[in-house]
Amino acid sequence: MSDNVYVADVVMTRFDKHPDKSIKQLTAEAVNALLQSSGVDVKDLEAAWFSNSGWGLSQTQHCIRGQVALAPIGIQGLPITNVENACAGGSTAIHSAWTAVKAGLYDLVLAVGAEKVYFPQDRKKMFEGFMSGTDVEFAQSMIEMMKADAKKKAEEAGASGEEKKGGHSAFMDIYAMGARMHMKAYGTTQRQLAVIAAKNRANGALNPLAQFQHEMSVEEVLADVQVAYPLTRAMCAPIGDGAAAALIASERGLKKLDGARPALVRASMLASGSLPGSGLEGISRRLSQAAYEKSGLGPEDIDAVEVHDATAFGELLQCEDLGLCPVGEGGPYAESGATSLGGKQPVNPSGGLECRGHPIGASGIAQVYELVTQLRGEAGRRQVEGARVAMAENGGGFIGVGEAAMCIHILEKV
């Protein structure tokens, strides 16, 4: 068994709409950049985990996605495991790689995620693909109910944003319903959600790899087209493509690398969601407590955080569930500036899913890329001063009343 496991190196492509690039091309771009950055030769890799969610739905490439994507760049013959875990796929690939290294099976392995979500020629199919991340037997009827409720609440609130045309992911309706429930229970406001989105726009403007690189004011966020009340378009993650890749190593594996700048993995945790009546606590609270216990740290020890903000409400909720602020106070906490760069505990310095983008199978690894960059002190104008410990929360799918899968990683500067 390996005592310590490290993220030896990690890279990502710029997330954006790449209609001219295939999954194979995106994968090659990320993996080749990783090999060049780390100085690792393909023959030194002992195993690989490949994360992707939609290649089968969009282009019928099922079953052996990793083998198909990695063979053209010379990664073949070694154990390749295909990972499909909705939006948590990338972080699940890292967790799986970490588990194998921790068990002493390997010393140097690859975790890679690649996704194409943007298919302008078939927008209906593009959005229907998101439904597969739910329990499809009853999800459609629930989504229709949520849409009707959103329309009613928007009318009651006098929301002025033009309604978005052309469709949206089913998850936006789920997040919108959660936001409305939170507003009713705790007095959270639409403006507080806009504060979070505007903060992430400011961070994304400082990130050369982000899909969105322009700022928006709170007022501009509120005035943007309405997706599902209280969410406007600027509060929601965009559709886009991209890839990210990480090198996971043991102490022995690190010795094979010249000039490595690793981050120690203090905790790598994976859990599944649950149905109502299971007796289990919500997945974020349950998993974050396990991560804190495993790492010997608490929420107060975390210097920088990347959370799964498919919407601004997602960030607000995760700040509460991860223990960064008390339950019900996520809105005021954001308004206080605590989660902004220069604040008490910056959240999503990358711009988050809302601005960095969300190519599903790559997002979890992109979160780790941002945090390793922060721990190295190489984040430029978005640098979190003095960052030594960082945490990534990556959720995926929907079951019951929460995420179907989730990974949390806590990393420490070496």
Residue 114 zone, left/alpha/beta (φ > 0; ψ -120 to 50; rest): beta
Burial of residue 219 (number of CB atoms within 10 Å: 0-12, 13-18, 19+): exposed
Closest among 8, 18, 19 to 44, alpha carbons compared:
8
Active site residue 63: no
Q: Are 48 and 113 in contact (CB under 8 A)?
A: no
CA distance readout (Å), 389 to 9, 92, 206, 295, 301: 17, 20, 21, 11, 7
- The SS3 of residue 9 is strand
Alpha helices for 103-243 (secondary structure H): 123-131, 136-157, 170-186, 190-204, 218-223
Place of tokens 């052309």: 166
Burial of residue 108 (number of CB atoms within 10 Å: 0-12, 13-18, 19+): buried
Alpha helices for 225-359 (secondary structure H): 251-254, 283-295, 312-321, 330-335, 352-356
Active site residue 358: yes
Which residue in 18, 87, 308, 409 is the catalytic one?
87
d(C-alpha 336, C-alpha 344), whole Å = 10
CA distance readout (Å), 281 to 6, 271, 289: 30, 12, 11
Amino acid making up residue 21? K
In this structure, how many other beta carbons lie within 10 angstroms of the beta carbon of residue 42? 15
Which residue in 325, 358, 407, 409 is the catalytic one?
358
Cis peptide, bond prior to residue 230, ω within 30 of zero: yes
Q: Are 354 and 215 in contact (CB under 8 A)?
A: no
In this structure, how many other beta carbons lie within 10 angstroms of the beta carbon of residue 265? 22
d(C-alpha 85, C-alpha 87), whole Å = 6
Active site residues: 87, 358
